[in-house]
Amino acid sequence: MNYKELVSQIRTKKTFLCIGLDSDIDKIPQHLLEKEDPIFEFNKAIIDATKDLCVAYKPNIAFYEAMGPKGWESLRKTIEYIPKDCFTIADAKRGDIGNTSKMYAKTFFEYYDFDSVTVAPYMGRDSVSPFLEFKHKWVILLAATSNIGGEDFQYHQLSKGNLLFEEVIETSKQWGNEENLMYVVGATRPEVFKSIRRIAPKSFLLVPGVGAQGGSLEEVCVNGLTNDIGLLVNSSRGIIYADNTENFATVARAKAIEIQEEMQKIIEK
């Protein structure tokens, strides 16, 4: 999915919601454990209940690879089931020397056919470039993350004045552009969006941390919105684990509607 197609889906559906499929075998409703593939059945029900309310799905790869071959198969079936009008994100946080990154890119872009993959920038350009070589695919680079430990490095001030996460964004603009490069920016520090938009005024931002982690959608949008919206705001636990009974999908839909309606008001302002 390219930039224009993504923006079109946001305008058509009146939402910029991304739903994280952090599907944990220990947290899904117990009745699903009787199924042949409980994780896929859980994901399938969530997708059926929310596909008209979001523009993206983000499977967290750790929850699948932890289950070995069965988990990878659940992931394959999930990505094939997601409607083609939804943007897909492999939340894998990969990034290694060039040859290794090339293999990671082939895994998620060729075998699983994700639209995008999250990538760690710490090893620099040659660890990111292999992902950017794939046409019509996206790199989502970790910049200012929502976890507490993000402050250990990301907010350190460099000698020339930039904070480290600002330098990551500034430098990476030499590697890609707003057509193939996004950034992860956590909702728990909404004040950073102003400086990020100064550096990357048109780039899409993947925004975790709204909902269960305490981030505010309204505060994110104050400085994060662009003319093309420019945000994919992720919610995972607040939607998919809102209920653990046989009504889990119905409750998930209700939670997604709450967010979509708030987003629609923002879009139509």
Percent of the chain scored above 70 by pLDDT?
99
pLDDT at position 146 is 83
- Active-site residue, selected from the candidate residues 14, 70, 77, 93: 93
pLDDT at position 147 is 87
Give the relative orientation of helices 192-199 and 164-172 as an angle to the nearest 10 degrees. 20
Q: What is the mean pLDDT of residues 235-258?
A: 96
Cα–Cα distance for residue pair 97/123, rounded to 1 Å: 7
Q: What is the mean pLDDT of residues 37-52?
A: 98
What are the domain boundaries of the chain? 3-267
Q: What is the mean pLDDT of residues 51-74?
A: 98
For the structural domain made of 3-267, what CATH number should be given?
A: 3.20.20.70
Q: Are 118 and 131 in contact (CB under 8 A)?
A: no
Please say if the pLDDT value at position 212 is more than 70: no
Reading the block at residue 41, the tokens are 């059945």
Span 126-148, pLDDT tens digits? 999 999 999 999 999 999 998 88
pLDDT at position 269 is 82
Across the chain, mean pLDDT equals 95
Higher pLDDT, 91 or 187: 91
Please say if the pLDDT value at position 216 is more than 90: no
Cα-flanking dihedrals φ and ψ of residue 18, to 5°? -115, 130
Q: What is the mean pLDDT of residues 167-171?
A: 95
Span 66-80, pLDDT tens digits? 999 999 999 999 999
pLDDT at position 184 is 97
Please say if the pLDDT value at position 113 is more than 90: yes
Please say if the pLDDT value at position 203 is more than 70: yes
93 is catalytic: yes
